[in-house]
C-alpha cells in the first residue's frame, strides 16, 4: 500500500483550516447582512468571528511556510500552497467586510429604509451570500463547472451594484444617514463578491495550473 506523503497530509490539514474559515466567513457575512436589514447591532459577535478568521489566516500561512521549509515541495504542491495562502487571505477579508457592515449600524444607528421598488438591496445581499457559498463549494470540491456559475453571479452583483449606486445618487429627498448607510452596504457587498472571485481564481490555479480572471 502506498504511504501518504508528509506534504500531502500537511496540505490536507491546511485545506481543513480553510474550510473551517469558509464556514465562519459565511456565518459572519450572513449575520452582518441580517443585522443591517433589521438595523440590529451585531458588532460584537461579528468582530469575534472576524478576529478568529484573522488568527486562522495566520495559522494557514505559518503551516504553509513550514511545509515549504521542511519538504521542498514539487511544482504541483507549491501551487496548492501558494493558492491556499491567498484563499485564506480572501476569507479573512470576508470577515473584515462583514465587520464593516456590522459597523454601519453601530456607528450610524437607525435610518429610514428605502423602498425595495427603488433600491435592489435584498437581491444584492442574497447574491453576495450565494457567491461566498459557491466559492466555499469550489474549495471543498474543485468542480470546474462551478467557475461559470461564480462568474455569472459576480456579473449580476456588479450590475446590481451599479444600479443601486445610480438609485442612491438620484434619491432626492432621502436623508443623509440613509444614503450613507446604503452606499457603504452595497460597496462592501461588491467587495465581498470580488474576493469570492479571487478564491475561485486561486483554487482553479491550484488544481489545473491555469490562471483565470473572473472580473
Concatenating the DSSP letter of every residue in 14-50 gives: HHHHHHHHHHHHHHHHHHHHHHHHHT---HHHHHHHH
C-alpha cell at 124: 444584492
Task: Please tell me the total count of domains within the chain.
Answer: 1
- In sequence order, which ranges of the chain are alpha helices (DSSP H)? 6-38, 43-71, 75-108, 121-140, 145-169, 176-208
Structure confidence at residue 116 (pLDDT) = 65
One digit per residue, the tens of pLDDT, for the chain of length 215 reads 334 577 889 999 999 999 999 999 999 999 999 999 999 999 999 999 999 999 999 999 999 999 999 888 888 999 999 999 999 999 999 999 999 999 999 999 889 888 766 789 999 999 999 999 999 999 998 788 899 999 999 999 999 999 999 999 988 778 899 999 999 999 999 999 999 999 999 999 998 888 888 87
Phi-psi region of 115 (alpha: psi -120 to 50; beta: other; left: phi over 0): beta
d(C-alpha 36, C-alpha 33), whole Å: 5
Please check whether residue 89 lies inside any domain of the structure: yes
Please check whether residue 38 lies inside any domain of the structure: yes
Structure confidence at residue 1 (pLDDT) = 33
Cβ atoms of residues 182 and 164 within 8 Å: yes
Structure confidence at residue 172 (pLDDT) = 73
Mean pLDDT for the chain?
A: 92
Please check whether residue 171 lies inside any domain of the structure: yes
Query: What distances in angstroms separate CA 162 from CA 55, 182, 200, one per listed residue?
Result: 34, 13, 23
Please check whether residue 41 lies inside any domain of the structure: yes
Structure confidence at residue 117 (pLDDT) = 67
Please check whether residue 99 lies inside any domain of the structure: yes
d(C-alpha 49, C-alpha 51), whole Å: 5
Query: What distances in angstroms separate CA 13 from CA 20, 47, 181, one per listed residue?
Result: 11, 25, 40
Q: The domain spanning residue 106 has which CATH number? A: 1.20.58.220
Domain span at residue 114 reads 6-208
Please check whether residue 153 lies inside any domain of the structure: yes
Structure confidence at residue 86 (pLDDT) = 96
Structure confidence at residue 212 (pLDDT) = 86
Please check whether residue 1 lies inside any domain of the structure: no
d(C-alpha 149, C-alpha 194), whole Å: 14
Structure confidence at residue 210 (pLDDT) = 87
Please check whether residue 213 lies inside any domain of the structure: no
Amino acid at each position: 500500500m502506498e504511504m501518504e506523503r508528509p506534504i500531502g497530509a500537511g496540505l490536507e490539514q491546511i485545506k481543513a483550516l480553510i474550510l473551517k474559515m469558509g464556514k465562519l466567513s459565511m456565518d459572519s457575512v450572513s449575520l452582518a447582512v441580517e443585522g443591517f436589514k433589521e438595523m440590529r447591532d451585531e458588532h460584537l459577535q461579528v468582530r469575534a468571528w472576524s478576529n478568529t478568521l484573522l488568527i486562522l489566516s495566520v495559522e494557514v500561512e505559518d503551516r504553509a511556510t513550514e511545509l515549504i521549509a521542511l519538504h521542498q515541495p514539487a511544482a504541483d504542491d507549491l501551487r496548492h500552497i501558494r493558492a491556499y495562502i491567498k484563499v485564506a487571505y480572501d476569507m479573512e477579508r470576508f470577515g473584515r467586510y462583514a465587520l464593516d457592515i456590522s459597523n454601519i449600524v453601530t456607528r450610524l444607528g437607525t435610518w429610514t429604509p428605502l423602498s425595495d421598488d427603488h433600491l435592489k438591496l435584498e437581491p444584492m445581499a442574497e447574491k453576495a451570500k450565494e457567491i461566498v457559498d459557491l466559492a466555499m463549494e469550489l474549495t471543498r470540491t474543485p468542480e470546474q463547472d462551478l467557475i461559470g456559475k461564480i462568474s455569472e453571479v459576480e456579473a449580476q452583483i456588479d450590475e446590481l451594484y451599479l444600479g443601486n449606486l445610480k438609485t442612491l445618487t438620484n434619491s432626492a429627498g432621502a436623508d443623509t444617514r440613509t444614503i450613507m448607510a446604503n452606499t457603504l452596504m452595497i460597496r462592501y457587498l461588491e467587495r465581498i463578491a470580488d474576493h469570492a472571485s479571487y478564491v475561485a481564481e486561486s483554487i482553479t490555479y491550484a488544481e489545473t495550473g491555469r490562471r483565470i480572471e473572473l472580473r
